């Protein structure tokens, strides 16, 4: 009888979740990336082991400012030219007006004593939030590791699914 | 032995979820806000205790039409001018053409007997969906409580995480 | 005592999840739809029973190329004219420049040996990913079943919630 009950408990245990949160950051808009970091730091502060998976436009937020990589193809160079060169260059998803929107948003948040995106990113690091750059997107857009911030992990969709499938909260941002 | 099994069951119970759904409504586009309310009412109808957390552009959907607040800063007034003044003012995320898109979408839905956004919002209230306005976004954008609908709750990311971490479904819209 | 423990285990079992993933594909942007299929095939490959629920702009990705349906209303015809006529017509969410963005993105991905959207869609079918078209959106936009790919399921928000409420991962894309 005990064995039976133990088996039943083990079966149920396989259908449970871990105290984790897993976010996909697909967007490269300042407002959405900020929301992602607010949620990530909030999740970490609430005791969830939190990971962020940056893919596609989101990779711009992870770029180190001013790093130039030689030998890029033409399309990759065009792409790099037309996307932000670091978190500081992100525009807003609406009312951007060639960057005015993000200047205004950042200044409004600063006046209210709200952490800037860069401060939120540091907070996330301090709270142990894991940050993964999507290698498939990097290949597609011709982004090299030396263009990205230090301390990142690298992985594909399997890395994200590994976290998300066990997580309490998984969001696509 | 009984104590041991009880402990095992208690351990597993800590890794379970509640019959809850938690939605972040970040977008202020008519089509996305409608999707959020369709999902929220669907979740509530399916028996899930449902909460919606409105942040950033999503706050426009909660504005009371025609309320003017004095003493706003210049940037806050600009922001208010350039964002919708209530759910009725929301535009579509694509093909908006200065409001034509939302007029057309609303009229196409009406012809098909589909509930309007305002009807969906009432349905959500009737089904007991909890609605929270993000205080950090309100601070950043200079939105006061008297500008928003009655019956809202107010909270930050911790309020959302409290719901989401126990929820069966958490979505970022 | 045994009955009591069994009851406790049954109670906990009701609070567990299934090995499922459920995605809402709301967006009709090439980049986001690709992300949806990468995640869906990744989830299926990780052993999760995966379903995709296409709604609103996302329905464009399910259109059969070149199918014309007579007797559409004026607004429905306008809508059809202004939205892509199949997965091949999807534009990117940023830097689209009247279709240049998607041509460039597709060519950059091809050069890197990354699967095209259409290959990912076939992969999803091969992996048994279930695809549902949102009937409410079809009604609203005047889309008929003969305009959509074969092998789809049809349903409303209740169909999605049925999957999502039991899923390990639910995302809104």
Q: Tell me: the pLDDT tens digits for B141-154?
A: 999 999 999 999 99
Query: Concatenated DSSP letters for chain A?
Result: -HHHHHHHHHHHHTT---SEEEEEE----HHHHHHHHHHHHHHHHTT-EEEEEE-GGGGGGGBPTT---SS--HHHHHHHHHS-SSGGGPPPSSS-TTTHHHHHHHHHHHHTTPPPHHHHHHHHHHTT-EEEEEHHHHHHHT--GGGBPTT-EEE-HHHHHHHHTT-SEEEE-
Closest of A121, A149, A136, A126 to residue A36, by C-alpha: A121
Token output for B82: 């350039």
Contact at CB, C76 and B108, closer than 8 angstroms: yes
What is the distance between the alpha carbons of residues A106 and A127, in angstroms, rounded to a whole number? Answer: 23
Q: A124: pLDDT confidence band, cut at 50, 70 and 90?
A: very high
Q: Which residue of B has its CA nearest to A9?
A: B9
Strands C169-172 and B49-54: unpaired
* Chains A–C, number of C-beta pairs less than 8 Å apart: 93
What is the distance between the alpha carbons of residues A151 and C93, in angstroms, rounded to a whole number? Answer: 29
Write down the pLDDT at residue A72.
83
Write down the pLDDT at residue A40.
98
Q: A73: pLDDT confidence band, cut at 50, 70 and 90?
A: confident
What's the half-sphere exposure (Cβ side, CA atoms, 13 Å) at C147?
A: 21
Query: Which residues of chain C are at the B interface, by a Cβ-Cβ cutoff of 8 Å?
Result: 1, 5, 8-9, 12, 15-17, 24, 26, 28, 55-57, 73, 75-76, 78-79, 82-83, 136, 139-142, 156-158, 160-162, 164-167, 170-172
Res. A147: pLDDT tops 80: yes
Helix (H, G, I), strand (E, B) or coil at C144: coil
Instruction: Mark the ranges of chain C whose per-residue pLDDT is less than 50.
Output: none
Closest of B72, B66, B109 to residue B88, by C-alpha: B66
Output phi, psi for A22, to 5 deg: -135, 120
What's the half-sphere exposure (Cβ side, CA atoms, 13 Å) at A105?
A: 26
Contact C28, C173 (CB under 8 A): no
Q: Which residue of A has its CA nearest to B137?
A: A109
Q: Diameter of chain B by CA atoms?
A: 70
Q: A130: pLDDT confidence band, cut at 50, 70 and 90?
A: very high
Chains that touch C (3 or more CB pairs under 8 A): A, B
Angle in degrees, CA C8, C13, C18, rounded to 5: 175
Chains that touch A (3 or more CB pairs under 8 A): B, C
Contact C137, C56 (CB under 8 A): yes
What is the distance between the alpha carbons of residues C112 and C107, in angstroms, rounded to a whole number? Answer: 9
Write down the pLDDT at residue A69.
87
B111 Cβ contact partners less than 8 Å away, ≥ 6 residues apart:
C73
A56 Ramachandran zone, left/alpha/beta (phi>0; psi -120 to 50): left
Q: Which of the 8 DSSP states describes residue C115?
A: P
Q: Which of the 8 DSSP states describes residue B82?
A: H
Q: What is the ipTM of this complex?
A: 0.96
Q: A55: pLDDT confidence band, cut at 50, 70 and 90?
A: very high
Q: For residue B23, list its beta bridge partners.
A: B52, B171
Query: Residue with structure tokens 């869906």?
Result: C40
What is the distance between the alpha carbons of residues B63 and B86, in angstroms, rounded to a whole number? Answer: 5
Q: A30: pLDDT confidence band, cut at 50, 70 and 90?
A: very high
How far is C168 from chain A, CA to nearest CA, in Å? 5
What is the distance between the alpha carbons of residues C51 and C131, in angstroms, rounded to a whole number? Answer: 6
Strands C20-25 and C169-172: parallel
pLDDT tens for B102-139 read 999 999 999 999 999 999 999 999 999 999 999 999 99
Contact at CB, B169 and C170, closer than 8 angstroms: yes
Question: Higher confidence at residue C121 or residue A71?
Answer: C121
Token output for B121: 């919002």
What is the distance between the alpha carbons of residues C18 and C141, in angstroms, rounded to a whole number? Answer: 33
Contact at CB, A165 and C169, closer than 8 angstroms: yes
What's the half-sphere exposure (Cβ side, CA atoms, 13 Å) at B121?
A: 18
Contact at CB, C55 and B35, closer than 8 angstroms: yes
> What residues in C contact B171, CB-CB < 8 Å?
24, 170-172
Strand ranges of the sheet holding B130-134, from the earlier edge strand across to the other edge: B153-155, B130-134, B49-54, B20-25, B169-172
The percentage of residues in chain A with a pLDDT greater than 90, rounded to a whole number, is 87
Q: B169: pLDDT confidence band, cut at 50, 70 and 90?
A: very high
Query: Which residues of chain B are at the A interface, by a Cβ-Cβ cutoff of 8 Å?
Result: 1, 5, 8-9, 12, 15-17, 24, 26, 28, 55-57, 73, 75-76, 78-79, 82-83, 136, 139-142, 156-158, 160-162, 164-167, 170-172
C140 Cβ contact partners less than 8 Å away, ≥ 6 residues apart:
B105, B108, B109, B112, B114
Write down the pLDDT at residue C70.
83
Mean pLDDT throughout B23-34?
A: 98
Write down the pLDDT at residue A85.
94
Mean pLDDT throughout B6-15?
A: 96
Q: What is the pTM of this model?
A: 0.97
Chains that touch B (3 or more CB pairs under 8 A): A, C
> What residues in A contact B82, CB-CB < 8 Å?
95
Q: B69: pLDDT confidence band, cut at 50, 70 and 90?
A: confident
Write down the pLDDT at residue C1.
77
pLDDT tens for C64-81 read 998 988 878 888 898 899
pLDDT tens for A94-107 read 988 888 999 999 99
């Amino acid at each position: 009888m005990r064995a039976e009950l133990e088996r039943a408990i083990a079966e149920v245990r396989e259908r449970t979740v871990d105290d984790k949160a897993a976010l996909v950051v697909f967007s490269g808009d300042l407002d959405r990336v900020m929301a992602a970091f607010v949620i990530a730091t909030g999740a970490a502060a609430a005791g969830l082991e939190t990971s962020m998976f940056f893919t596609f436009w989101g990779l711009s937020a992870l770029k180190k400012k001013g790093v130039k990589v030689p030998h890029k193809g033409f399309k990759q160079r065009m792409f790099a030219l037309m996307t932000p060169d670091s978190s500081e260059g992100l525009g807003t998803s609406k009312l951007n007006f060639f960057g005015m929107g993000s200047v205004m948003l950042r200044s409004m948040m600063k006046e209210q004593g709200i952490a800037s995106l860069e401060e939120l990113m540091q907070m996330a690091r301090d709270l142990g939030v894991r940050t993964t750059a999507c290698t498939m997107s990097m290949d597609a857009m011709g982004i090299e590791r030396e263009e990205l911030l230090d301390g990142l992990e690298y992985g594909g969709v399997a890395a994200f699914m590994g976290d998300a499938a066990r997580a309490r909260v998984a969001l696509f941002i």
